[in-house]
A and B are shown apart, each in its own frame.
Chain A
């Protein structure tokens, strides 16, 4: 038991006395803050006061423990942030590979410690810049990559054996990772030395982010191929970043983000185990996660703590993993894009700082902080610098990195952590009963749960039950002018010209053979990675490879649920 009986008895007495006083006080003068506003951003009700009674059933060893010890509520790292800070990893990509490479070098000069790539929509969806479907999109939301030649420009001057690179890429994850592997080979860096992450989480694409290509089943097969290849040949690579970020941005509550992400993770573990017959301890240590840090300060901290605890239990008890590293939930965090406002955009600096602080207090191991102008356009150099400095100020000025998990033991934070865990398990069990996440997705279950939450939040905003400063309260008539970063339409023209020239000069016979080999591997159910690497080395484009996948596996269409 966490508290001695006498403490609980005292707590009950003092609480009851205080509650009487509260009743008298509000009888005289009603609360200024309406009841409707006293819940989290996810509409989780919050009490006015938490006491030892709220965590009566807590068991210190079972539920909290020490950093680096099961169940890792207090973090994976034994030495905490004194040992090393989280990785300062700013998500960036814009226009051409050359422009993005310049931004990367700028960020590294300014103290960023890891790279993170944003690709444009054609790349994300497996189309070339000159595809009719790609018109108008080139370089707009990220960097345009068509072939290995672009990729080599992207990583020019980046020490691939020292800097780790994350790539937000999903349906064409095999292709972009193959390009990274090929680039490493060209630069003379062995695969065993490169480190990084491909997002490669297809389940959340169907649930939330909506960059999909093939149907769920073959999509998961490709994911498991990368896990197998990474386990054998690229041991420092995180082959999946199981992502709640996009689930949250689509409008999910914190609990939904937590539950759906964890259940997605379980689906991948089961698929790799069943399909590839690899022991869970061989691949589980390289599974990584990615969460959102939203504006509700304590709800997020509780979510992060609960996430580590649930995953540790799942890996040890459900999947019988024996290696403690398999029990670790390592995660990257990004502050919530959807919490930012186009109105009074400088306020976004404050929101991002608070969200980053809760990610740090929740023990994140990697962090992206949004720029103040990201709700309007691609971030400017100046805005990105402020965002990066926000992390550096938290790390080096505020003192919060001096001690590990400083909020442990708080009646409120522990109770909220328990509550998040309990509610997440309810969802996980429901999805188990449906037959797993793929079955649930086919029913539209997580999609509609999120749609309900998103709709509910929007209605609350419009009815003033939730506040967004500058949007539905404290509006200004005058808005500051922000200089927007624009991607010139010339970027698309140039990218298309480069691609057409490359198609003429490459050895198209060798290319055709490589694509044929890839196709045959897909048909036979072999691991596609070695064939994919050969294809990118023959200068196959992203679309040429993805067209093979589309041909063999078929295409998925958005069912358009709302």
Chain B
């Protein structure tokens, strides 16, 4: 069966406006051959979940640099679960102190990338861990 392209959504939850990383990543994903949806800033977890479902994405990449990731990242996973979409993989990045990693993993975030992570390493992780849905 034919495989479609990997569909990823780059999302900015909460009120944070630091979107440099998110936009660079969105562009890099596009160059890497993914189909990319970028939400823009200021999305609620519910909006992100609804958009992820509507766009039928394989992966959601969350970016937060405001310190609110402890609430927002788990809230996105929960919102996806509420829509029976827990098969969509959620990863996150931004200013995330290492001490917060365990609680984020426990909440269902599959990978966390922090300042200094290369674009290449993120794409490598995705290619290794995400299976593209068959059409």
Number of A-B residue pairs with CB-CB distance less than 8 Å in the complex they form: 111
CB neighbours of B66 from chain A (8 A): 121, 137, 140-141
Nearest CB of chain B from residue A171's CB, rounded to whole Å? 11
CB neighbours of A557 from chain B (8 A): 40, 42
Q: Which of B23-31, B83-91, B104-112 contacts A (4 or more CB under 8 A)?
A: B23-31
Nearest CB of chain B from residue A141's CB, rounded to whole Å? 5
Is A7 interfacial (CB 8 A cutoff)? Answer: no
Nearest CB of chain A from residue B13's CB, rounded to whole Å? 9
CB neighbours of B130 from chain A (8 A): none
Identify the closest chain A residue to B65 (Cβ): A141
User: How far, in angstroms, from A124 to B99 measured CA to CA in the complex?
Assistant: 27
CB < 8 Å: which of B71, B115, B118 contacts A136?
B71
Is A106 interfacial (CB 8 A cutoff)? Answer: no
> By the criterion of a CB under 8 Å from any partner CB, how many residues of chain B are at the interface?
39
Q: Which of A305-313, A336-344, A388-396 contacts B (4 or more CB under 8 A)?
A: A336-344
A377 lies within 8 A of B44 (CB):
no
For window 56-109 of chain B, which residues contact chain A by CB distance below 8 Å? Answer: 66-72, 75, 95, 97, 99
User: How far, in angstroms, from A141 to B15 measured CA to CA in the complex?
Assistant: 11
User: How far, in angstroms, from A270 to B95 measured CA to CA in the complex?
Assistant: 39
For window 333-391 of chain A, which residues contact chain B by CB distance below 8 Å? Answer: 338, 341-343, 375-378
Is A66 interfacial (CB 8 A cutoff)? Answer: no
A124 lies within 8 A of B15 (CB):
yes
Is A225 interfacial (CB 8 A cutoff)? Answer: no
A458 lies within 8 A of B24 (CB):
yes
Identify the closest chain B residue to A139 (Cβ): B67
User: How far, in angstroms, from A454 to B99 measured CA to CA in the complex?
Assistant: 29
A455 lies within 8 A of B40 (CB):
no
> Quick one: given A141-B67, A562-B27, are A134 and B15 in contact (CB under 8 Å)?
yes
Is B16 interfacial (CB 8 A cutoff)? Answer: yes
Nearest CB of chain A from residue B57's CB, rounded to whole Å? 15
Is B116 interfacial (CB 8 A cutoff)? Answer: yes
Report, nearest first, the 10 A-B pairs whose CB atoms are least far apart: A136-B71, A560-B40, A210-B17, A558-B40, A140-B67, A121-B15, A136-B68, A562-B23, A562-B26, A342-B115
Residues of B within 8 A of A (CB): 10, 12, 14-20, 22-24, 26-28, 36, 38-42, 44, 66-72, 75, 95, 97, 99, 114-116, 118-120
